[in-house]
Structure 1
């Protein structure tokens, strides 16, 4: 493995994760008024609903699919499904979700770039993150034909092994990627880069989406009518 591979797949992941967590925490602490998705619905509703629905369905499925698919040890699912079967399932479900996300983001990106008012109120980071996500979805879809050339799941096992070595701080992660096609590597690099710039973009509102789960377990909020209270003696 080259020095570039060692840096990108052995050191760069930890830089991205450190900036992702620490940067998000600092932004929440210092700039809470910027912690929002900055919706442009008031400027133009057209295309927003269908594009947003398609994009979020696709991306959320892909996020959790990658998270559990890459980080679940092989021995946990081996008694129920082979690596090859898991790969075929990932190709089919991920392909459908990827198409949903790609179509949705294409609609949203077209809307943002072609509407003068939305373009004028968009920050450079808004356009940058949309373009990067679009490229990431495109690369993800481009890996499907390559995965079809090795249906035994061998490459998927290498990628999952790399991810598990990284998050558990084990050595030898870079060596696991030997022989992996450059499209997979570019997809991985761009994914890590999105984590790197995450705290500096509107994507930080994703944290709030996950935090909203706490509403299910929080105590009931008691609301009293001011008018009723003032009228009592």
Structure 2
């Protein structure tokens, strides 16, 4: 283990976590109006309807797989009947499906953003950097699954990466566990740290803004308009009348509509 490994797996994770937490607090306190997805649905909907569900459902599957793989010890899974073979088979099958969905959705969304002029003009610099880092993280993770786990003989990351990750949570990083991790997994981990560090300063903050309040908010009550306050129900007032002509009565004004003289105005009385 060299100094670079100590920095990569013992220092950088805490720096990324600190930026992640403090950045979100700062963003929420000082940029609440910018806490949004900056939706571009109004500009283009056809590709969005395809790419957005693919990406979001796929990324939820990816997140769920990482939670189980990193936070749940293999002994716990063995205790409920999920052995090594069953776990890796499920991880490879579901992980591949999730990766295909997520990457396909991301490609469609990036293509839409690049080819639709109005959407491209609404794309900020932080959006472009975020898409690059997010895409790199997904590609490294997919490559680790396909090249190492499926075609490369497999790697038991639950004996190295998972314990290392849990050791970070209790502030006792076991850096020795990461000394023999394959390069593709290392690239995936480092790109993920960069993504988490820049997360608070991008549109990704909308992840924490689920509309849960809609489930418990009171109903919107619609009331009919009071007819006594309806302007259409009020009697019309006499309009302007040239000098020398008698002003029309209220009834006549109501029949003529405006009470003005002219082709449609009141006629001269004898």
Assess same fold via TM > 0.5: yes
| CA drift at 1:214 | 5.8
Q: CA offsets, 1:180-226, max 9 Å, x none?
A: 111100000111111100000000000112xx44655x4x5254445
Answer with 80-89 or 35-44: which moved more: 80-89
1:15 aligns with 2:15: yes
Higher relative CO (Cα under 8 Å, sequence separation at least 6) belongs to 1
User: Does structure 2 retain, via aligned residues, the 8 Å contact 1:83–1:157?
Assistant: no
Separation in 2, partners of 1:223, 1:229: 18
The aligned counterpart of 1:58 is 58
The aligned counterpart of 1:201 is 202
The aligned counterpart of 1:160 is 162
| CA drift at 1:75 | 2.3
| CA drift at 1:70 | 0.7
Cα pair distance change 1:206/1:213, threshold 3 Å: same
Number of residue pairs matched? 225
TM-score w.r.t. length of structure 2: 0.77
Cα pair distance change 1:113/1:224, threshold 3 Å: closer
Separation in 1, partners of 2:28, 2:208: 10
User: Does structure 1 retain, via aligned residues, the 8 Å contact 2:73–2:158?
Assistant: no
| CA drift at 1:115 | 2.3
Higher alpha-carbon Rg: 2
The aligned counterpart of 2:263 is none
Q: Structure 2: any 5+ residue segments left out of the alignment?
A: 229-270
1:147 aligns with 2:146: no
Separation in 1, partners of 2:202, 2:227: 45
Note the aligned Cα RMSD (angstroms).
2.1
TM-score w.r.t. length of structure 1: 0.88
Q: Structure 1: any 5+ residue segments left out of the alignment?
A: none
Moved over 4 A (4+): 213-216, 226-231
